[in-house]
Structure 1
Amino acid sequence: MNATLAGVAIGAVLAISALVFGFWGFLLVALFMGIGALVGRIVSGKLDVRDLAGALSGRKTS
């Protein structure tokens, strides 16, 4: 799946959630999509949790 197709799919899911569930449902779906993307990157090994925690706590820079 290329980036354009992924963007279209994400946009469609968010648009449908906004129409069906309203503004707060839209925000909840967007939040869970972000959490899912973060977990997916951690599981696939593309994101190191220790480096992320160090960057957020100010110990390391990215």
Structure 2
Amino acid sequence: MSMAVVGLLAGMALGFAGYFGGFGAFLLVAALGAIGFVLGRFLDGDLDPGDLFRPRGRGRDDRTR
């Protein structure tokens, strides 16, 4: 499935949630979608758990100085 189709489905899900459930449902669907995306990337091996908590600009040696 292409990323365009995935984006289309996600947009439609958010649109339906916003229309039928209001803004709270829209936020809930968006938050759960983001969590599912991160978990999917982790399970595919594209994301390391340390990437979420490690500062980007500094290496391990910079913290000890």
Normalising TM by the smaller chain, what interval? 0.7 to 0.9
Which of structures 1 and 2 has the bigger CA Rg? 2
Q: Which runs of 5+ in 2 are unaligned?
A: 60-65
Q: What TM-score does the superposition give when structure 1 sets the normalisation length?
A: 0.82
Aligned length: 59
Identical columns (%): 37
Distance in 2 (CA, whole Å) between partners of 1:32 and 1:59 is 30
Superposition CA RMSD, Å:
1.6
The list of structure 1 runs, each at least 4 consecutive aligned residues, that deviate by more than 3 angstroms after superposition, is none
Q: Which runs of 5+ in 1 are unaligned?
A: none
Q: What TM-score does the superposition give when structure 2 sets the normalisation length?
A: 0.79
